[in-house]
Structure 1
Amino acid sequence: MVHTTKGIVLRTVSYGETSVIALLYTELFGLQSYIVNGLRTAKKSSVKNNLFQASAILEMEVYHNELKSLQRIKGAKWHFLYQHIFFNIPKSAVALFMTELLQKVIRQPEHNPHLYSFIEDAYMQLDKADTKVTAGYPLFFALHLTSFLGFNIRDTYTSQKKILDLREGEFVKELPMHPYYIEERNSAMVSQLLKVMHPYELHNIDLPLTVRRELLEHILQFYALHIQDFGVLKSLPVLQEVLA
């Protein structure tokens, strides 16, 4: 049966001489792998070979069989054509970070339209973002993504609770007995970032380079504490270099 769904490209790998296998997060079926035949050939195909770039937002006609782990695509076209992400180096680096993070945290083909909408809007807002918003975007995305994953940080920050316990995901009064926490200087920044509901609000937060780097490393540590085999992000050094 053929279905129409939107999907966000997370990764593609070559398959055979002319085909690719693409991993997408779809609106209807969650995480899915698709084989796209003839994509790497000069012959005419129902799917253009420039569509399957990481972070691309597509509208597709797909064949879906719940008993199969590899699905097929009948046709695809742009749903949203970026104006900047594929050509602007800082935005490309942020998009690469977002895409790699999604690959690490989304592992099951579960239908979640709210998560899909958040991810799609996040890429579209990044494409429109100015320089300051782009610099803070990895923190904004990484923090707010957790609310869809079941282990988000609770914004319990007060004048008495100024330390962020990363293991518990909440602000506390005293230093924890373990090393996974953020001290007062930066924990207030996390509380401010948690209150940001739209990326343009990042203009209201002063995030120096050193603070951005420290906070992002802490937030990724938070992910590692709550997701088994989270590992490290290969895109992080590139992101830090580009946004320096």
Structure 2
Amino acid sequence: MIINSPAIVVHSLRYGEADLIVKLFTKTSGLRSYLLKGVLKSKRGKIRSSFFQPLTLLEIEAVHKDKGTLERIKEAKISKPYLTLHSDLMKSSIVFFLSEILKNSIREEETNKDLFEYLETTLLWLDSHDNIGNFHISFMIKLTQYLGFYPDLSRIDSEYFNMQDGYFQKNDTNLYCVKGEHISKLKEFLGTTFEESMNIKLSKTLRSRVLNVLLLYFELHLHEFKKPKSLSILNEVFE
């Protein structure tokens, strides 16, 4: 079956001397993997390796056999070119980090247009704004809405955040109940707009602690989720 779809580059991996295996989140068919033969040596083809930088927005024409094997891309082009995302050091560090988050979070080969539109909208926002220190935190929190484990806010005034069950409570009942200034800051992100969350004041230490809580929260709610390898680079950039 031939499909035409917007797509977001989630991950790419060199295969042999000239091939790439790329993982794309498509608007019409969910997460798909493709084999791009000879793309690393081709200079005049319709498909270029430069198209497959992390989180690039593409328009693709592809052949899907739907047999659980690697699919084939016939044509690809950048649909909405970024101006700063891959050239600004802080933004590119965020991009590498979030591409790993998505690689470890999105599993299904199912259409999820709401998630696709969320990703596209927020990436374009990141590209066009400079006040981005809290972007990755707000991105991850709102991502949980689309993945099905956004925290229950009905008792948000309670002191403890029960990461295992995803709600706030008055008492410490398990190893994953946490409280403290970083949890108070986490609460500020919940229920705010994306733009408002950029103005939440965080020290370097608090930002790191909030992020670590979120990463553990993802680990608890997503099977086989792993901390991104790029986390150390992200922390260095924010120092």
1:162 aligned to 137, 159, 164, which one? 159
2:194 matches 1:194: no
Q: How many matched pairs? A: 239
Alpha-carbon deviation of 1:114?
0.6
Contact 2:11/2:22 (CA < 8 Å) preserved in 1?
A: yes
The residue that corresponds to 1:61 in the other structure is 61
**Which amino acid in structure 1 is aligned with residue 62 of structure 2?**
V
Contact 1:32/1:69 (CA < 8 Å) preserved in 2?
A: no
Contact 1:23/1:33 (CA < 8 Å) preserved in 2?
A: yes
> What runs of 5+ residues in structure 2 fail to find an aligned partner?
none
Q: TM-score, normalised by structure 2?
A: 0.94
Q: Deviations over 1:57-96 (max 9, x none)?
A: 1011111122242111111111111111111111011111
Give RMSD over aligned pairs: 1.6
Mapping for residues 216-235 of structure 1, pairs under 5 Å: 216-235=211-230
Q: 3-state DSSP class of the match of 2:45?
A: coil
1:213 aligned to 208, 215, 231, which one? 208
The residue that corresponds to 1:138 in the other structure is 136
Alpha-carbon deviation of 1:151?
1.5
Structure 1 pair 232–158 and aligned structure 2 pair: CA distance change class (3 A)? closer
Alpha-carbon deviation of 1:182?
2.9
The residue that corresponds to 1:153 in the other structure is 151
2:117 matches 1:120: no
Contact 1:21/1:33 (CA < 8 Å) preserved in 2?
A: yes
Alpha-carbon deviation of 1:42?
4.1
Distance in structure 1 (CA, Å) of the matches to 2:200 and 2:32: 37
Q: TM-score, normalised by structure 1?
A: 0.92
The residue that corresponds to 1:10 in the other structure is 10
Structure 1 pair 157–65 and aligned structure 2 pair: CA distance change class (3 A)? same
2:231 matches 1:236: yes
